[in-house]
Amino acid sequence: MKGYVVLEDGKVFEGRSFGATGEALGEVVFNTSITGYQEILTDPSYNRQMVCMTYPQIGNYGVNLEDAESEKVHVEGFIVKEACKYPSNFTSVMSLGDYLKQHNVVGVEGIDTRALTRHIRLAGSMKAVIVASETTPDFAALAKRASDWEGTGGVDSVKDVTCKAEYVFAGTHGRPVTAEPKYNVVAIDCGVKSNILRILANLGCNVTVVPASYTAEQILAKNPDGVFLSNGPGDPAAVTYVQDTIRGLLGKLPLFGICLGHQLLTIALGGKTYKLKFGHHGGNHPIRNNDNRVIEITAQNHCYCTDMKSLEGLDVVESHTNINDFTCAGIANKDKGYFSVQYHPEASPGPHDSGYLFREFIDLIETFKAKK
């Protein structure tokens, strides 16, 4: 069956279908990771987006039961050069194509992913329709449909991925929590990844995950030792209710944010964010820790960025900087009890370059507890 990627500017890429049939609508971004496709597919931060993998062969080790970052696939569509039909790994339970079919996600292979990536780099992330069909579709109509779609800008995507009710994290399939709890931490779920919760739990945190709609008063009523601001999808400026919650928590508890949590903290402090031309998506982004000048190799997945100029005069330091384009990759004021980063330390591409951030959160909790 044929597969097509039709961009909003009318450009068409033709290949073969290897997932579910039908159509999907989303924003196309490219990801430079060589492995980790299952984690990418199940990352809630990719809600309303379609991912083009730049590495040419994807699916070699299949899909297993342990590596999912959430309970379902969140990408709207998946685009690769070549999808491996016969994976080889002792943990594999199915192929990538079967996994996409199981979750009703359209996949397209056989297109020139280098050309698509270059087009996005030059023109910027684009809205698109991805199609798996026996017949040739009306490309002009699909391009208009993509162009007319509201996309991700100004849209609250968090409401689509946050949990419906609070719960205490107790591990995931095949990966139980091994540490005894010493600290009570509330995680605001804007689309949190399982591995973040697992790391916090294994550092001694009893993690209560709450919906993004929870207010500061509801969170403070749980008497937590610290609050984690999670990753998630979409435009941070549209998630005003979480911004309000963070404002109500500032100075009262230690706060640690990752990705969208970092952006929401920026806005809550009085700053602004802006959309990058094509975002940062992949597992090989160099970040400089501005405190010790050490370079970390990081995993990233975001389209929005902190505007450091908007934070001038607010006693906020740029703790980390992206060495590729010198955008802000972290902010902090440990004296006031908050810090955040614009990358994913739990993804471990370094592999352990950024693991210290979770320990710093624990240290901050200890510092605050000592002051009481």
Confidence of residue 171 (pLDDT cuts 50, 70, 90): confident
Q: Is the pLDDT of residue 104 over 70?
A: yes
What is the model's pTM?
0.96
- Average pLDDT over the chain reads 96
Count of CB atoms situated within 10 Å of the CB of 277 = 12
* Segment 222-254, tens digit of pLDDT: 999 999 999 999 999 999 999 999 999 999 999
Pick the CATH number of 158-371 from 3.20.20.10, 3.40.50.2300, 2.30.30.100, 3.40.50.880: 3.40.50.880
* Segment 335-353, tens digit of pLDDT: 999 999 999 999 988 889 9
The region of weakest confidence among 62-66, 176-180, 286-290 is 176-180
* Segment 259-269, tens digit of pLDDT: 999 999 999 99
CB-based burial label for 361 (10 Å; 0-12, 13-18, 19+) = buried
Confidence of residue 179 (pLDDT cuts 50, 70, 90): confident
Q: Where in the chain is the domain with CATH 3.50.30.20?
A: 2-148
Higher pLDDT, 372 or 136: 136
- Contact indicator for 134, 156 with CB cutoff of 8 Å: no
Q: Where in the chain is the domain with CATH 3.40.50.880?
A: 158-371
Helix, strand, coil shares of the chain as percentages rounded to 5? 25, 35, 40
Question: How far, in Å, CA of 133 to CA of 227, rounded?
Answer: 46
Q: Which phi and psi angles does 307 have, rounded to 5°?
A: -90, 100
- Looking at the domain 2-148, which fold is it? Glucose Oxidase; domain 1 (3.50.30)
Q: Which of the residues are catalytic?
A: 259, 344, 346
